[in-house]
Amino acid sequence: MKKYTNAFIKEMPKTDLHLHLDGSMRIPTLIEMAQKNNVKLPSYTEEGLRELVFKESYANLGEYLHGFQYTCSVLRDLENIERASYELAVDNQNENVYYIEARFAPQLLMDLQSGLTMESILEASYKGFERAKKEFNNSAEVKNGSRPEFHYGIISCAMRKFGPKGYSPFYTNFFKTMEYSKEMEVLKEGALQMVKAAVKIRDEKGIPIVSIDLAGQEEGYPPGKFKEVYNYAHKNFMHKTVHAGEAYGAESIFQAITDCYADRIGHGYYLFDENKIVDASITDKKKYISNLISFVADKRTTIEVCLTSNLQTNPEIKDIKNHNLKHMLDNRMSLTICTDNRLVSNTTVSDEFQLAVDNFDIQYKHLKDIVAYGFKKSFYPGQYIEKRNYAKKCMMHFDEIAKKHGVI
């Protein structure tokens, strides 16, 4: 197996296409914001929060998601949203991550009485990312061509079931006004209003909302139920990604691609697991999975792989070497390495790449392909030819770094 040093992994150009803003804050910032906004935390020290909330390992997905109640609470403040976005961009720049797509659900932060509208929330995030981008791109290193430019996109998340109904006034009001409706109808209506607002804000404000996503509890809330939401995005030239195959079976991934027109799949971990298929009409599960793997690979539908997060939310994996990344590599699937949540998973993009190359046989050409997919399969907020030229420049830089570290 080719040995890649930590120095090479850190310096090579990278992307992060599956990155939750509310799961990727700095702990000192979280503490400071909580004190400013009178948000109660289990501890007000980094050590205490690492022990009680943001752990090295979790018992299940529920425990993993526990910390989001604190991050979402402090982000119900426009200044805090702008600061968190700025710091997230800077943290990525510091490890040579040149393109990110930060995702979050603005409707979880909304409070109309406090002026927290969908528009103001997305605009605050935009201001933070834009400030970090301009500062970086005006640096001497970028100006003299020794480092590529930094760019970003924002992904607005629709939500499935995600915990207590009162997580935000936005959904609380929906459950009140639609109290005789089924839960799924309420969630679909909330998602549809979100995607309509995202398209409107993108078109009228020029904010780089590059895609929509569907997050939250996957089991019982399959992508196909949100077909109307994704159809609206599709007809308005909005890119699409879906959390699918994270905690549910292969048919969830199939629905994401066929019903929701997904360009990328978030996680896709259970694509290879026959035991996760629950659709009784699928009698030959082995053939179904084989066909689906070939279908996904042939379409070059990119899988957003989050190794550490999968280990933490699916304890049955036990060892990184058991991760289905090995099957993705064997089937030459289009994939990109991501963090999911830098804070909650206590990781970085460099950590995730190091974990991959240290535990799986990834030769140089294949590693370069994986990095290239991050740039080429991004939802870059510009014309296709602009994205193509940007990806080319970043991959030329990759070759320069590889030569510098003796990788080629």
157, part of any domain: yes
Q: Which two tokens stand for residue 161?
A: 């079931």
E strand residue ranges, 105-253: 151-159, 209-215, 239-244
363, part of any domain: yes
* Integer Cα distance of 189 and 173 in angstroms: 12
3-state secondary structure 111-125: EHHHCECHHHHHHHH
207, part of any domain: yes
1, part of any domain: no
83, part of any domain: yes
DSSP result, 50-61: HHHTS-SS-SSH
Phi, psi of 120 (to 5 degrees): -65, -35
E strand residue ranges, 290-365: 302-305, 335-337
31, part of any domain: yes
Cross-strand pairs, 215: 159
Domain of residue 381, residue span: 6-404
* Integer Cα distance of 144 and 25 in angstroms: 31
Give, for all 408 residues of the chain, the pLDDT tens digit: 458 999 999 999 999 999 999 999 999 999 999 999 999 999 999 999 999 999 999 988 778 888 999 999 999 999 999 999 999 999 999 999 999 999 999 988 988 778 899 999 999 999 999 999 999 999 999 999 999 999 999 999 998 876 544 455 566 665 565 554 577 888 888 899 999 999 999 999 999 999 999 998 888 889 999 999 999 999 999 999 999 998 788 999 999 999 999 999 999 999 999 999 988 999 999 999 999 999 999 999 999 999 999 999 988 899 999 999 999 999 999 999 999 999 999 999 999 999 999 999 999 999 999 999 999 999 999 999 999 999 999 999 999 999 999 999
| pTM as predicted | 0.95
Contact between residue 190 and residue 174 where contact means Cβ atoms under 8 Å apart = yes
108, part of any domain: yes
Residue 304: give its domain's CATH number: 3.20.20.140
Please give the tally of structural domains in the chain.
1
Nearest to 150 by CA among 340, 361, 375: 375
CB pairs under 8 A, 24+ apart, for 290-296?
A: 292/250, 292/253, 292/254, 293/327, 293/331, 293/333, 294/331, 295/257, 296/253, 296/257, 296/265, 296/268, 296/271, 296/333
